[in-house]
Amino acid sequence: MTPPRLKSPALDNTVHGFFGREGGVSEGMFASLNTGLGSSDDPQRVTENRRRCREALGAAHLLTLYQVHSADAVIVTEPWRGAGPRADGMATRMRGVALGVLAADCMPFLFIDAEAEIIGAAHAGWRGALAGVLGNTVAAMTTLGARPSRIRAALGPCLRQPNFEVGLDVVRAFAEKHPDTEQFFAPGAAADKRQFDLAGFGRAELARAGVVHLDDLDVCTLGEKSAYFSYRASRRANEPDYGRNLSAIALPAQP
């Protein structure tokens, strides 16, 4: 079975996809397309799910990172096996290699400079976004020869503001680094809570990095928990673990 995936009009000249829960072989709380190597799912099932995604993209390799909510972005010069480097962004000009990021409420961004034939991918929760992983991913692409003004980016399913409640400590962390971030926080259900527009902050970060072509698919993982894995949905269900959604982009093996 070929897993279904969302596509972005901004990236329609390249092979990419934002995969959800459907189209895999995992069971239970991981049903069915869990692609997270770090989950407690059966590794053989995860491997099969990742194979299905890789083949759907027509790529020889699917690379993901050992994501740590950091600002770090790496340049991919050769494929690796397993969990990959500890980082949250990557860029390459290699063909036939799909760059993938895993998320279950965090933001998955995919990037391409079609003229330079350079792609990138980034995983950004609020910690990584605050640390600067989006700008660093653009910088990694620029090191390879991309230009921010030519880069097209797409943001896939993630936790959206109506469902993203945070404490005042998060508000303070953003205000200390970016005094203009008050616009991204709305009142919460209680006086000590706020609703955070992480996607809005991510879009603003890319604009600061010079990326002006950005498509937001505007899908909420918690709002559509039957279609996408969601960390917060799993916590509310008292599940001990959760699946990961894959978002990936590749340059075709042949130009």
16 token code pair: 């990419």
Q: Over 80: is that where the pLDDT of 131 sits?
A: yes
56-70, 126-140, 241-255: range with lowest mean pLDDT: 241-255
pTM of the model: 0.98
- Predicted local distance difference test score (pLDDT) of residue 13: 74
- Predicted local distance difference test score (pLDDT) of residue 68: 98
The helix or strand, by DSSP H or E, that contains position 127, with its residue range, turns out to be helix 126-131
Q: What is the pLDDT of residues 205-254, one digit of tens each?
A: 999 999 999 999 999 999 999 999 999 999 999 999 999 999 999 998 87
Q: What is the pLDDT of residues 19-60, one digit of tens each?
A: 999 999 999 999 999 999 999 999 999 999 999 999 999 999
Q: Over 80: is that where the pLDDT of 12 sits?
A: no
pLDDT category of residue 73 using cuts at 50, 70 and 90: very high
Q: Kindly provide the residue ranges of all beta strands, DSSP E only, lying in the chain, ordered along the sequence.
A: 5-6, 15-19, 61-63, 73-75, 89-92, 97-103, 107-113, 118-124, 152-155, 165-167, 185-187, 193-196, 213-216, 245-250
pLDDT category of residue 1 using cuts at 50, 70 and 90: confident
Fold of 5-160+197-250: CNF1/YfiH-like putative cysteine hydrolases (3.60.140)
